[in-house]
Amino acid sequence: MWARGPVRARRVPAALVALAVSCAMLAGAGPVAAGPVAADGGDGSGRLVDIGDGRRVLLDCRGSGSPTVVLVSGAQGASDEWTHVVDAAHPEAGPKPDASAVLTTLARSTRVCAYDRPGTTRLDGTPNRSTRTPSPTTAAAGVRDLRALLAAAGEHPPNVLVGASWGAMIASLFAVTTPARTAGVVTVDGASPFLKDTLTPAQWSAWMDRIRAADQGKGLEAPDYPAAVREVEGAPAPPRDLPAVVLTSDHPWDLGVGGGSTWPAWLAAQRRLAGELRARHVTDTDSGHGIAVEQPQLVAEAVRGVLDRARAAQQR
C-alpha cells in the first residue's frame, strides 16, 4: 500500500519517500453469485468471502467482462488504495475516493476485483475485517490465499494480475505458477526479487531488520522477503508470450536503510524485473512510489493495454 510503501510510503507527497518499500474481454464473467459470499464488509465496499479454515477475506468486485483484473495492494495496504486518488492541487488532503481511481475506471470496461489481505489497514487507519493470520507472510502464502478467494467467490479465469509494491511479488508469482488462468501481469512500482542483488548487503540487511520490527505485536502484515525471493527463484520462468507491463516511479524516493541512497538499486531492480517478465517498461510516470493513487489513469491505461493483448490472443 502506498501509505506505507514496502512497509509503505506515507500519505502525502511530501512524504512519498517510503519508510521501507514492501517491497502488487471476451463476454463472460458477470456479477459474483451468492454461495460462500457473506454480508457486506461493513463500509459499503465488498463482501466477506469464506475461504475455509474459519477464515474470511473482504473482496470488492465490480463491473463485468473478461479477463477479470485482480488488484493486489502493497504491504499492509487494503483494497481502498485502488479506489482513492491524491489531488495534485491539494496533496495535503491525502487520498480521497474518486471516479478516476484505478478500480472505478477499469470496472467500466471489464470485471475487476480488489481484496483486503490479512493484517492490512484501510487508508483512514482502521483495520480491515478479513480474518487475521500469523506474520510474517510470504509471496506463496499470498498466492494460496488469492487462489482460494477467487475460487470461493466464483470469480472465473482468466485473470490479469496487477500488483503494487509488495503486491507485485504475489502477482508475479501467481502468474508464473498459475499460467493456465493468467492472461497478463502489471507491476506498479513493484517490489522486485532482484533487490537482494542490487542493494548493498548492508542495505538489504537493514531493510529486513526494519520490516521485522514494523509489526510490534499489532497483528500487521509483515512480508518475509528472503523467503519470497527464494519462492520466486524456484518458480517456473514466465511464459514467453505473457502480456506484461512494469510501471516504475521516476520521482526519487529512498528506503532510508543501510547508508547511501537506495534509489539507484531500486531502478536497477525494476529494469531486471522488466527483463525477466519480457515486459513493456514504463519509466516516464511522473510519480513517486504510490503510482496507483498519484497517476491512476496511467495504471488503468497499462492494464487496458494488457487486456487488449490478452483478448487478441484468445481470438487467434
* pLDDT for the residue numbered 314: 81
Q: What pLDDT is recorded for position 315?
A: 82
Tell me the whole-structure pTM to 2 decimals: 0.87
- Give pLDDT, residue 93: 84
Report in angstroms the alpha-carbon separations of 35 from 129, 238, 293: 19, 34, 33
Domains and CATH numbers, the chain: 23-315 (3.40.50.1820)
Q: What is the dihedral of CA 259, 275, 300, 119, to 10 degrees?
A: -50
Of the candidates 232, 230, 225, the one whose C-alpha atom is nearest the C-alpha of residue 209 is 225
Q: What is the pLDDT of residue 135?
A: 81
Sort strands 182-188 and 112-115 into parallel, antiparallel or unpaired.
unpaired
pLDDT of residue 212: 79
Whose CA is closest to 195, among 233, 221, 244? 233
Print pLDDT tens along the chain (316 aa).
333 444 333 333 322 333 233 332 222 223 223 234 334 444 446 899 999 999 999 999 999 999 999 999 999 999 999 999 998 888 888 899 999 999 999 999 999 999 999 999 999 888 888 998 888 899 999 999 999 999 999 999 999 999 999 999 999 999 999 999 999 999 999 999 999 999 999 999 999 998 877 766 677 898 999 999 999 999 999 999 999 999 999 999 999 999 899 999 999 999 999 999 999 999 999 999 999 999 999 999 999 999 999 999 888 7
Number of C-alpha atoms within 13 angstroms, CB side, residue 126?
8
Rounded CA separation 265/271 (Å): 10
Check residue 87 and give its pLDDT: 87
Give the integer Cα–Cα distance in Å for 172 and 162.
9
The per-residue pLDDT for 216 is 60
Quote the pLDDT of residue 242.
96
Cα–Cα distance measured from residue 59 to residue 80, given in angstroms and rounded to the nearest whole number: 11
User: Which pLDDT score is estimated for 92?
Assistant: 83
